[in-house]
A and B are shown apart, each in its own frame.
Chain A
Amino acid sequence: MKKIISIILALAITLSLTTGCSKAPEASKESETSKEQETPVTTEKPADLKWDGYEASKGLTGKITYMHWGDDYERQMYADLIAAYEELVPGVEIEQVYTPGDYYTKLQALAASKTLPDLFWLNEARVKEFADAGLMKELTDVLEKYPAISDGMFEGAMDYGKADGKQYCIPKDFTSYVMYINVDIFKEAGIPIPTSDWTMDDYMDIAEKLTKVENGRTVQYGTIVNNYRADWINFMGNYDAPWFKDGKSNISDPNAIKGLSVQSQLIEKGYAPAPGTTEEGEERLFIIGQVGMHPSGRWVVPSFLSECDFEWTAVEFPKGTTRVSPFITANVAINADSNNQEIAANFLSFQMSETGLGYTLASGLSVPLYESLVNNKDILGEPADAFIASTAYIGDKEQIDALATGKWAEYNSIITAELSLVYDGSQTIEEAAANIDKKANETLFNN
C-alpha cells in the first residue's frame, strides 16, 4: 500500500515538477490571456463555433466522462474546451477526469472494474493492448459520420490509432522530433544555422566545432544525446533502417547501427555528455546555454520560451539517407461499453475541429495534424517551420510495426537499458544491438 501511494505521489510530483516547474510561470500567464480572448468568442457561437458536427449534436442529452493526463495548464485548456462544448450543446454534461499521475495504473484499474470513462486518452504504445482487450470502440462509423476528423489529416498519422488494421482511436495532435539550435552559440562560432538539407555528417561536424573544453573540463557541448525512443527511432529511421522486421527486432541491421553510432560517437568524442537515465538534465543544459544543438520534441517549447535568455530556433532533424519522424502523441478513444457513444463521438469531432483545437493547441505544446491548421500562426506558434516541414514524413513503419505487437513498453525498456551501457562505455553499439535483438526476440517476439 505504502508503495502504491508512493508511486502515485512519485508520478504526480515528477509530472508536476518536470512539466509544471519549467513551464508554469509563462504558461499560466498565457492561459489567462487566452481565456480572455476566448471568452468573447464563445458568446458569438453561431458564427464561429459551429463545427461540422454541430447539426449532429442537436438533441443529444446525457452525461459523459473524459479522462486525460497533462499538467495543470493542460487541465485548464481541456476545461475550457469542455465548457465551450457544453455551451453549444446544452443537453450534454461532460465530466473532466484529470489524472496527472500514474495514469495507466488508474486506467487499467478502471478497465478491470469495467468503469472506464466514455472518452479517454491513450499513448500510441498502448493502443494494441487496449484494442486486444476490446476496450475501445471501433471507429469506422464515427469517421463516416464525422469525415472531418480524418479528412485533411497528415498521411500516416491515423496509423498510430490503429490496431490490426482497424481504427480504434484518433491521435489528437502530435509532436515530431526536431533539432533546437542555440543561435547565439552558432553566431559566436561563426557557423550558419543549418538548413533543411543538412546531414548527419554536418551534424557531427558542427557538434565538434561547438564543443569547448577548458582545463580538461567541457564547458560547452556541441549537442545532446537522449536515451529516448524518439531519438533512436530518428537516428535509425533517417538511415532507412529496417530495425523492426517481420515481427522481430532487427537492430543489428547495418543501417540501424550506422544511425545509432552517430549518437554513441557524439558521446565517445565528447561532443555530447553521456545522458543520465532521466531526461530532465539534458534539457536543463540547453536552457542554461551550454549546448549548441538539442534534439527534442515540441513539448520543450513553453519552457524554452520562458527560460532561455538567448536566441534559439528549431531546424529539421539532420538527414541520413532519408528522413522519418517518429510519432509521439496521445490518442483519444471511445469506451467500447459506453452508453453514450453518440455523445462521445460528437464531442470527439468537436475536439478535433478547428474550433476545438484552438483551445487545446494554444500552449504550443504540440502540433496540429491538419494541413489547414499547421500554417495557422495562432495555432502553431514559433518555431514552426521545422515542425511544418516534418509533417511531410510523419511516421516510421518500423515504429508502427513494433507498436502493433503490443509489447512496445518492454521492448523499449530493453533498448534503453542496452543503449545506456553503450553511452557509459561498457559495450559497443554492435554488442548492444546484438543483445537487444537476442533478448527481445527470445522473450518478446518468439512466435
Chain B
Amino acid sequence: MASVKTNTSKKKSLQHMTLQKKDALTGYMFIAPALISFIVFVMYPVIASFVISGFDWGILTAPRFIGIENYKTLFKDPIFIESLKNTFTWVILYVPVSILVSLIVALAMDMPLRGIGFFRTMFYLPVMTPMVVCALLFVWIYNKEFGVLNYILSFLNISPIGWLSDRNISLISIALMSVWKHSGYNMLILLSALQGIPESLYEAAALDGITPWRKLINIKLPLIMPSMYFVVLTSVIDAFQVFTEVFIMTKGGPGYSTHTVSYYLFANAFEYGKMGYACAMSVVMFFIILAVTLIQDRIMNKNIQYDS
C-alpha cells in the first residue's frame, strides 16, 4: 500500500511540474551519462588527489596526515625540479614544432590534389596506432648500434648517435617521435578548419589580387584561429602530461634527462609507494597547467574571430 501511495504522489509531482522544469529535467537526463562519468572519473580523482597530497600514504600503509610536508619536500627534491625543468623544456620544444608540422601538413593536405585522401590517411595513421607501439618502433629506429636512423646516417659518414642514450638529445629524440605520432591529429583539426573556409572568400581574395603568402597570413591563418586555439591549448595540456613515450623509450634516462613530472609522479605513486607525494606533484601540475591555460586564454581568445 505504501508503495502505491508514493507512486501516485510522484506522478502528481511530475504533473505539477512546470513545462520549464520538465524541459530542464529532460536536459539533465541527457547530460547525465557524461556528467556522472565526469564526476566519478575526473572530479572525484582530482579532489581526492588534493586531499591525498596532505598525507603520507603509500596505498598499502595507513595514511598519516602531514599537512604541507609533501609540498615542502617537493620543492627541495632535485629530481622533481629536474623533472619540472624537463617538462617545461618538453612543452617549449614539442608544442611549437608539433603545431607547425601539423599546420604545414594541413595546408598541404588542403590542396585539391588527386589521391589526397590517401595522403591524409597516411598522415593520420600514426594517430590511430597505439602510442606504445609507436614508441617501441622508435626505440628500434633510434637504436645506436643497429637502428635504421644511424644506418642511414652512416652513408653520410656520420658516426652513430645515441639518440636515446645521449642525455643531451634524448628528450629531443622523444619529442620528434611524438611529433610524428601526434601531428596527424592536430592536422586533421586544422584541415577541417581550412576546409570550412568558404570558397567564396578565396575568390573574393583572388579578385582583390592576393598573393599566396598574403592569403595564408591574412585569410587562412586568421580564419583557422579558433581551431588553432583549441589545438594549442590541448597540445600544451597534453604536453605537460607527457608520460607514455618516456616510460617506454627511456624510463626517464639517461640520468634524469628525460624525467618528466608525469613519469616521476608515476614512479612515486606505483613504484616507490609514495602516493601522497605523487598526489602533491599532480596538484602542482594541476596549478601549473591551469595557470598556463589561463594565460593562453587571455592572449589568444582576444584575437579570435569565432563566426565565419
Give me 10 other A-B pairs in contact (C-beta within 8 A), A132-B61, A217-B159, A217-B160 excluded: A7-B266, A13-B130, A277-B253, A284-B143, A288-B146, A413-B271, A417-B259, A424-B166, A424-B255, A439-B78
Q: Once the chains bind, are A112 and B60 in contact (CB under 8 Å)?
A: yes
Smallest CB-CB separation from B269: which chain A residue? A105
Contact with A along B260-272 (1 / 0, CB 8 A): 0010001100111
B145 within 8 A of A: yes
A275 within 8 A of B: yes
A115 within 8 A of B: no
A278 to B142, CA, bound (A): 12
Main SS at interface, chain A: helix
Interface residues on chain A, number (Cβ under 8 Å): 51
Q: Name the interface residues of A93-146: CB closer than 8 Å to any CB of B.
A: 104-105, 108-109, 111-112, 129-130, 132-133, 135
CB neighbours of A46 from chain B (8 A): none
CB neighbours of A409 from chain B (8 A): 267, 271-273
* Contact A276 to B139, CB < 8 A, known contacts A217-B160, A424-B254, A426-B255: yes
* Contact A133 to B60, CB < 8 A, known contacts A10-B248, A285-B146, A413-B267: yes
* Contact A417 to B253, CB < 8 A, known contacts A6-B244, A274-B165, A407-B272: yes
B136 within 8 A of A: yes
Q: Once the chains bind, are B159 and A421 in contact (CB under 8 Å)?
A: no
Q: Once the chains bind, are B60 and A3 in contact (CB under 8 Å)?
A: no
A1 within 8 A of B: yes
Q: How far is the CB of A100 from chain B (nearest CB, A)?
A: 13
Q: Which of B166, B243, B253, B262 has the most CB of A within 10 A?
A: B253
Q: Once the chains bind, are A276 and B167 in contact (CB under 8 Å)?
A: no
B104 within 8 A of A: no
CB neighbours of A17 from chain B (8 A): 136
Q: Name the interface residues of A380-414: CB closer than 8 Å to any CB of B.
A: 406-407, 409-410, 413
Q: Once the chains bind, are B165 and A275 in contact (CB under 8 Å)?
A: yes
Q: How far is the CB of B100 from chain A (nearest CB, A)?
A: 25
Smallest CB-CB separation from A125: which chain B residue? B271
CB neighbours of B251 from chain A (8 A): 277-278, 416
B252 within 8 A of A: yes
Contact with B along A339-370 (1 / 0, CB 8 A): 00000000000000000000000000000000
25 sample A-B contacts, Cβ–Cβ < 8 Å, listed by A number: A1-B42, A9-B130, A10-B131, A10-B132, A13-B130, A13-B136, A14-B136, A105-B270, A108-B59, A111-B59, A129-B60, A227-B253, A275-B165, A276-B139, A277-B249, A277-B252, A277-B253, A278-B251, A290-B146, A409-B272, A413-B267, A418-B255, A420-B165, A421-B255, A439-B78
Smallest CB-CB separation from B142: which chain A residue? A276
A10 to B248, CA, bound (A): 7
A383 to B61, CA, bound (A): 43
CB neighbours of A10 from chain B (8 A): 131-132, 135, 244, 247-248
Smallest CB-CB separation from A133: which chain B residue? B60
Q: Once the chains bind, are A6 and B131 in contact (CB under 8 Å)?
A: yes
Q: Name the interface residues of A33-73: CB closer than 8 Å to any CB of B.
A: none
A273 within 8 A of B: yes
Q: Name the interface residues of A207-235: CB closer than 8 Å to any CB of B.
A: 216-217, 221, 227
How many A-B contacts are there with CB distance less than 8 Å?
Answer: 141
B30 within 8 A of A: no
Q: Once the chains bind, are B58 and A129 in contact (CB under 8 Å)?
A: yes
A237 to B92, CA, bound (A): 44
Smallest CB-CB separation from B147: which chain A residue? A281
Q: Once the chains bind, are A13 and B133 in contact (CB under 8 Å)?
A: yes
* Contact A278 to B159, CB < 8 A, known contacts A112-B60, A133-B60: no
CB neighbours of B166 from chain A (8 A): 424
Smallest CB-CB separation from B170: which chain A residue? A277
A311 within 8 A of B: no
CB neighbours of B130 from chain A (8 A): 9, 13
* Contact A104 to B139, CB < 8 A, known contacts A216-B159, A417-B252: no
CB neighbours of A129 from chain B (8 A): 58, 60, 273
A218 to B250, CA, bound (A): 23
Q: Which of A6, A132, A276 has the most CB of B within 10 A?
A: A276
CB neighbours of A104 from chain B (8 A): 270-271
